[in-house]
Amino acid sequence: MPAGLSWPAAAALALAALALLLALCRHLWALRWSLSRDRASALPLPKGSMGWPFFGETLHWLLQGSRFHSSRRERYGNVFKTHLLGRPVVRVTGAENIRKILLGEHTLVSAQWPQSTQIILGSHTLLGSIGDLHRQRRKILARVFCRTALESYLPRIQKVVSWELRGWCMEPGSIAVYSSAKTLTFRIAARILLGLRLEEKQFKDLAKTFEQLVENLFSLPLNIPFSGLRKGIKARDMLHEFMEKAIQEKLQRTNSEDHSDALDFIINSAKEHGKEFTMQELKESAIELIFAAFFTTASASTSLILLLLKHPSAIKKIRQELMSHELYPKCQCCPAGPSPDTLPTQGRDSKKQLPAVARDTHEDQSQCSGPLEEAEPSSGLSPQPPALSEPTQPQSSPQPQACHCPSDISLEKLSRLRYLDCVIKEVLRVLPPVSGGYRTALQTFELDGYQIPKGWSVMYSIRDTHETAAIYQSPPGGFDPDRFSATRPEAVSRFHYIPFGGGARSCIGKELAQAILKLLAIELVTTARWELATPAYPAMQTVPIVHPVDGLQLYFHPLRPGCSSEA
């Protein structure tokens, strides 16, 4: 301690020196990125902050969630710079800006996921491939999601959805919808896409391990003990060990009738394109399939249930549409029960008063008639047996006679449900599961009057673009499925609505995801009613994926008590 200075004065001096040092480090960090601009371009870098050395603004992003981007967009505009997960990033909002990025794949930009994501998922995935390799892999994977494949998945998906929802209705208390939706979508991914036949304990262990992998996909690239990356790598290695055994068993099968899951389609499609996948490629492809179908579809399923709860008029319209197409189940084996619209919105504990379900003020009864995308012709692949060991009735219990609920749904029948299609689109617009996508600049280019330097990451925002699009006739913040009616301009806008991305990297499994959501919606509105188990609707968290902070606690009740949904 310098002579003549008291301890408080010395401490204050030390703190001042530390603050000066931190300010200098932050200034030098910002200067380092300012000097990285392309001198050949006269355009300035986007406005924004690069945060602190190495960490950038990653901690702010993880803590603030969607507020991080919205606050900076309000301050800096639709194009701003930041530093996330170890890389300089330009965050982009707006249809015209995003159009240039999505259509510039392989020329202006290329896929660039965070380093932690690349390490955990591996180098043989569609997400991580670029150029000709990406085109080749996409052709191989297209077979998994063609109409023939989707038709073979639908009966099994319908049985899984029906069985899971019966379990929700049988719960005496509330359930956490997000957690239950993850169980549902993981069961679909594991059993129907990968053909895994698991005991329930195996299933739960595998789901827990996979959840640990996904939760650490977006982490700082520090492979040290107790870090997110280390946890993700550990989960990946455990999954790869399990998948290798399962794939070896699959490759040794001789019964061709069993070959109708997505992994079989990948193996056969690769052979048709003159490529034999290695075991490492098959393991990484299997993990990628679950990743693509698991969390995002669980998020969208939770959002669907939440938004239908908030807007019961949409439920009524869906039921009317199902009846008009003779798809509403007429269950003859059990009593019809009271109308769901007349049931009280009170919890199972009569002493606990719960808020009434909010009524949608939008009473327009017009049906949405937007056309679905064309698909390839169907074929007659025979479906596999049910995926799960479903609960059976005791032998002494008589089986219900002539029960016709639910009806089998085909792709052709789903395509007739125009209003339901609009509801699913609106759910994905209001609460898109993934907030955006990552690219890296292959060359310096201009965007909204700023330069995007070669080598920088570009993160385009799906959520912010949906929230700020000026094309919508009704307020973007409202829930209005009819905005996707064929008579409305929103129905044909290309880059104002991008829940599945766009361009060369648009989500290849979007038709499957939409089919799962439609089957879930049909099962929900025809067999169950649901209500809040909490005093208010939960806030939504957006990192790493959109979900309610409390998991969405709901009570589920069967519409027809005692009715089995098995034919």
pLDDT higher for 414 or 390?
414
For residues 32-54, give the mean pLDDT.
91
Predicted confidence (pLDDT) at residue 330 exceeds the cutoff of 60? no
Predicted confidence (pLDDT) at residue 375 exceeds the cutoff of 60? no
For residues 32-44, give the mean pLDDT.
90
For residues 401-406, give the mean pLDDT.
42
> Residues of the chain with pLDDT > 90: what percent?
43
Residue 259's pLDDT band, with cuts at 50, 70 and 90, is: low
Count of positions (residues) in the chain: 567
Residue 290's pLDDT band, with cuts at 50, 70 and 90, is: confident
Tell me the domains of the chain and their CATH numbers: 126-328+408-558 (1.10.630.10)
Peptide bond into 406 cis (omega under 30): yes
Predicted confidence (pLDDT) at residue 418 exceeds the cutoff of 70? yes
Residue 89's pLDDT band, with cuts at 50, 70 and 90, is: very high
Residue 452 is predicted with a pLDDT of: 96
Q: What is the pTM of this model?
A: 0.79
Distance, in Å, from the CA atom of 103 to the CA atom of 551, rounded to the nearest integer, reads 36
For residues 523-534, give the mean pLDDT.
95
Q: Which run of H or of E encompasses 530? A: strand 528-532
Residue 54 is predicted with a pLDDT of: 84
Beta carbons within 10 angstroms of residue 544's beta carbon: 18
Distance, in Å, from the CA atom of 458 to the CA atom of 157, rounded to the nearest integer, reads 36
State yes or no: 146 annotated in a binding site.
no
Predicted confidence (pLDDT) at residue 406 exceeds the cutoff of 80? no
Residue 303's pLDDT band, with cuts at 50, 70 and 90, is: very high
The residue behind tokens 């925002």 is 461
- Alpha helices (H) in 509-564, listed in sequence order: 510-527
Predicted confidence (pLDDT) at residue 17 exceeds the cutoff of 50? yes
Residue 255 is predicted with a pLDDT of: 60
For residues 301-321, give the mean pLDDT.
97
Residue 458 is predicted with a pLDDT of: 93
Predicted confidence (pLDDT) at residue 145 exceeds the cutoff of 60? yes
Predicted confidence (pLDDT) at residue 70 exceeds the cutoff of 90? no
Structure confidence by residue, pLDDT tens digits, 437-478: 889 999 999 999 999 999 999 999 999 999 888 888 788 889
Predicted confidence (pLDDT) at residue 297 exceeds the cutoff of 70? yes
Predicted confidence (pLDDT) at residue 399 exceeds the cutoff of 60? no
Residue 2 is predicted with a pLDDT of: 58
For residues 269-283, give the mean pLDDT.
84
β-pair type (450-452, 436-441): unpaired
Predicted confidence (pLDDT) at residue 308 exceeds the cutoff of 80? yes
Q: What is the mean pLDDT of the chain?
A: 81
SS3 466: helix
Q: Which of 281, 270, 261 is nearest to 197 (CA)?
A: 261
Residue 232's pLDDT band, with cuts at 50, 70 and 90, is: very high
Q: Which of 41, 117, 121 is nearest to 85 (CA)?
A: 117
pLDDT higher for 311 or 261?
311
Structure confidence by residue, pLDDT tens digits, 505-515: 888 889 999 99
Residue 270 is predicted with a pLDDT of: 81
Distance, in Å, from the CA atom of 56 to the CA atom of 77, rounded to the nearest integer, reads 19
Predicted confidence (pLDDT) at residue 426 exceeds the cutoff of 70? yes
Burial 148-169 (b: 16+ CB within 10 A, else e): bbbbbbbbbbbbbbbbbbbebb
